[in-house]
Amino acid sequence: MEPINVFDYETLAKERMNPAYWDYYAGGSDDEVTLRDNQRDFARIRLRPRMLVDVRQCNTSTSVQGLPISMPILVAPTAMHCLAHSEGECATAQGAGAVDTLMIASTSATRTLEEIAQAASGPLWFQLYIYYSLDVAAGLVRRAERAGYQAIVLTVDLPAMGNRERSRRHGVPMPPPPLVRANFVGIGQEDIGQVAVTWETIDWLRTITSLPVLIKGILTAEDAQLAIAHGVSGIIVSNHGGRQLDGVVTSIEALPEIVEAVAGRCEVYMDGGIRRGTDIFKALALGARAVLVGRPIIWGLAADGARGVQQVLSILHTELELAMKLAGCPTLASINHTFLKL
């Protein structure tokens, strides 16, 4: 039977993936409290639908950083897609492009950023980890610019790796070279150093690129205010899918204070726990411009390659449209906090 929701894809993916690979993607840190609560906190929010609204046509098209897309659903940056499917990030990019939405490619991809760009038919952003040195990071940014990526997304919540016990029991899975270091082929020992990523790093990054700079991993109004002060173009509210500091606020819980702190000065997005169209509706009602989806994309990829990614995104899109119709919201602009009971 054709999968009808993302949970069906989760079941298929678990059946097909190496158990060590599955645990790498599925696991969180420590007791996995945040991993579980990312979904539970969506369930706690109730909807307040309005009736007798003409919803025969619902328009989900929007833009992010000026780029038009068909839906407010983006592909989150996740590592090592070749653990889920042999074509890895290239298949993911094809699936996202097939439904006219955007993929954020990870520094830790198992296909080079150039290969991903060549495979893609939709817009791309590049997620940056600052490994090794600032010179290496600058090289990645320059490569992304040449390959046609249209924004840089700096992940800021990884000063150290979270205690991901599921992965530790198996050992962190690594694909064979060169896939494991696809974007770092040719980087030698002389290039390796330690880099402290701080607010000054944002300032440095903005001096080396004309692309919009977004930061991913913000959970407080205080940091949102600092991000604005350092000139970011967008904030992604995220707790790294529950894989870093366990017990932190969930993304949907943190979203309202960050939207309030930003006060329209940059676009705000969120990820963490998105499994249904109603989850997306709730995030939009609390002020998110769009949401990022991570694990369900991996499930679709593992189950059916590019087509699986396309289908996961299509399912979420269809569910969002239905939620909008049943709530009485014919446009994304009509969705606001009055449709929620917190």
DSSP 341: E
DSSP 25-78: HH--STT-HHHHHHHHHHHHPEE----S---SS-B--EEETTEEESSSEEEPP-
| Extended beta strands in 99-247, E state | 103-106, 124-128, 152-155, 213-218, 234-237
pLDDT at position 181 is 83
Q: Quick one: which H or E segment has residue 327?
A: helix 295-327
Q: Quick one: which H or E segment has residue 340?
A: strand 340-341
For the chain, the 3-state helix, strand and coil shares in percent, each to the nearest 5, are 50, 15, 40
Report helix, strand or coil for 7.
Answer: helix
Q: For the segment 178-189, what is each residue's pLDDT rounded down to a tens digit?
A: 777 899 988 765
CATH architecture entry for 6-341: Alpha-Beta Barrel (3.20)
Q: For the segment 147-178, what is each residue's pLDDT rounded down to a tens digit?
A: 999 999 999 999 999 999 988 888 777 777 77
The reply to whether 240 belongs to the active site is yes
pLDDT at position 171 is 77
Positions of the chain with pLDDT under 70:
188-193
pLDDT at position 192 is 60
DSSP 295: H
pLDDT at position 1 is 80
pLDDT at position 189 is 56
Report yes or no: 91 and 64 within 8 Å, Cβ to Cβ. Answer: no
pLDDT at position 167 is 84
Nearest 10 degrees: CA dihedral of 113, 159, 152, 110? Answer: 10
pLDDT at position 330 is 98
Residue among 273, 263, 262 nearest 215 (CA): 262
Q: Where are the domains of the chain?
A: 6-341
Task: Retrieve residue 141's tokens.
Answer: 């940014």
Q: Which of 81, 85, 240, 317 is catalytic?
A: 240
